[in-house]
Amino acid sequence: MISPLLLALDQGTTSTRAILFEASGKPIATAQRELPQSYPRDGWVEHDPERIVADALAVCWEVVNQRGSRPIAALGITNQRETTVIWDRASGRPVYPAIVWQDRRGADACQALAAAGHEDFIQQRTGLVLDSYFSATKIAWILDHVPNGRRRAESGELAFGTIDCFLIARLTDGRVHATDITNASRTLLFDIHRRRWSPELLDLFGIPPALLPEVKTSAADFGATGMAGVTVPICAAIGDQHAALVGQACLAAGMVKATFGTGCFVLANTGATPVRSTRRLLTTPAHALTTDVAYALEGSAFNVGTAIKWLRDELKIIATADETEALARSVDGNHGVYFVPAFTGLGAPYWDAAARGAIVGLTRDAGRNVLVRAALEAAAYQAADLLRTMQADGMPAPIALRVDGGMANNNWLMQFLADVTGLAVERPRTTETTALGAALAAALGAGVIASPTAIPELWQRAARFEPRMRPAERDQLIQGWDAAVAQVRQH
């Protein structure tokens, strides 16, 4: 009997990729397109939704055409989460570019709501901090700046969705307008305790209910799409960081994963109980692979991989990210240089939208290699910040930190991460665990996998990095990083 394949569509901040997996989790075909970023004003970040759809179709067709005669059991979609699209229901065409999660144009609206005393209520209902990172203020901004936006939204002519929802609508020719719990929970409009859209929050942000999609579990029926001569059922939708948690098999309470991509996202599984942070971390559904919802504490750093892209694209001191490991190894110490890549503000635990990037401690002998090392170190320091905050919130230190994302392939960085966190760092055989998590969720939705309990058996470790740095040296480096962040926040 020919075993079916699983198709994952991973639509991220800087690229769109499709990966075809065996049911065992082994990848057999990959296609990818880089996604251009648009920065119309300071603090604004936008994407072209039509480019996202075109790239998604192109990469899916490319890998499907490599399947041979094997059937595809299901498609799972994973996505950059808070990025916001509003489109015309009749045509499927966006009424404005996608406003990306990094975008800060809603910061003033958030400050006004906080000043009016709404912040605590919002956190109680959503588990989130009041910040323009999330979708609500992005939706309101589009409705206020597109001609007749509010009238058309209230009449049901327009639809809102995060990228998963928009892709599902387009892949099903508008038949399905739905998202999953993990994506709905990133809007500031979803009550994570009652598991439904909150009328009070919709009223607070001025969002018409007619805009909103149906909310399903992560492994559910999201319709079907045709490609390369076959009909493929869409059996999963799940936010990228939640998909990575599933792909890392962090399904037991206390397990922690860190994804290093455009940003750094650390999720700690807290089990069936949502744990409210007292230090401005996020309480979020970890996944909804069944009707039972697991929760997590999450910390998000906005700019990690973007620092490497900045060195490549703006400073042009590297040609590819692959060069960074050798360059970092060539330097004996950090020369007192710290790079705080707050290009679009600072995320957790600071939530400082006004902060901007800086390189601190430059001297005449700080050259290309030192800057590259500082950019890599910044990724580890930001992850360490999040882990320290989680432990201050009462989470025990994990036995090991599981890592994934493109930067997790950098051995120098993973060793430095182990050193500055004092934790063993484990890298799986498949570092594209976001796509893998979407594929596994789709396998559950399609019945290829009977239960989530089978997922840990598929996880395989490829490398483990043990901390080697002396505690005194670690403390000195972290003090230097904290001082650099303080300088950035003063401005």
Summarize the confidence of residues 41-52 as an average pLDDT. 94
Q: Which two structure tokens, joined as six digits, stand for 162?
A: 């995060």
Please report the sign of the dihedral spanned by the C-alpha atoms of residue 385, residue 390, residue 394, residue 400.
negative
Closest CA to 239 of 165, 303, 128, 292: 165
Interior angle at CA 431, CA 428 and CA 432, nearest 5: 140
Question: Across-strand partners of 94?
Answer: 87
Secondary structure element (H or E) that encloses residue 88, with its range: strand 85-88
Position 464 scores a pLDDT of 97
Closest CA to 410 of 260, 244, 245, 310: 260
Q: Does residue 164 register a pLDDT over 80?
A: yes
Position 8 scores a pLDDT of 96
Summarize the confidence of residues 46-69 as an average pLDDT. 93
**What pTM value is reported for the model?**
0.89
Question: Across-strand partners of 425?
Answer: 401, 465
Residue 279 pLDDT class (50, 70, 90 cuts): confident
Position 168 scores a pLDDT of 97
Summarize the confidence of residues 309-337 as an average pLDDT. 91
Mean pLDDT score across all residues of the chain: 93
Position 491 scores a pLDDT of 58
User: What are φ and ψ of residue 481, in 5° steps?
Assistant: -65, -45
Summarize the confidence of residues 3-26 as an average pLDDT. 92
Q: Are 371 and 226 in contact (CB under 8 A)?
A: no
Q: Which two structure tokens, joined as six digits, stand for 347?
A: 């995320």
Residue 472 pLDDT class (50, 70, 90 cuts): very high
Summarize the confidence of residues 427-436 as an average pLDDT. 90
Q: Which residue ranges make up each domain of the chain?
A: 5-237
Closest CA to 103 of 386, 353, 350, 284: 353
The DSSP secondary-structure symbol of 33 reads E
Give the Cα separation of 262 and 20 in Å (integer): 23
- Percent of the chain surpassing pLDDT 70: 99
Q: Which two structure tokens, joined as six digits, stand for 126?
A: 């959503």
Position 21 scores a pLDDT of 94
The DSSP secondary-structure symbol of 457 reads G
Position 222 scores a pLDDT of 97
pLDDT in tens, 70-99: 889 999 999 999 999 999 999 999 999 999
Q: Does residue 489 register a pLDDT over 80?
A: yes
Q: Does residue 110 register a pLDDT over 90?
A: yes
CATH top-level class for 5-237? alpha beta
Position 2 scores a pLDDT of 66
Q: Which residues contact 26 (CB under 8 A, 6 or more apart)?
A: 430
Rg (CA), the chain: 21
Residue with tokens 């901390």: 467
Position 70 scores a pLDDT of 84
Q: Does residue 396 register a pLDDT over 90?
A: no
Please report the sign of the dihedral spanned by the C-alpha atoms of residue 297, residue 303, residue 305, residue 306.
positive
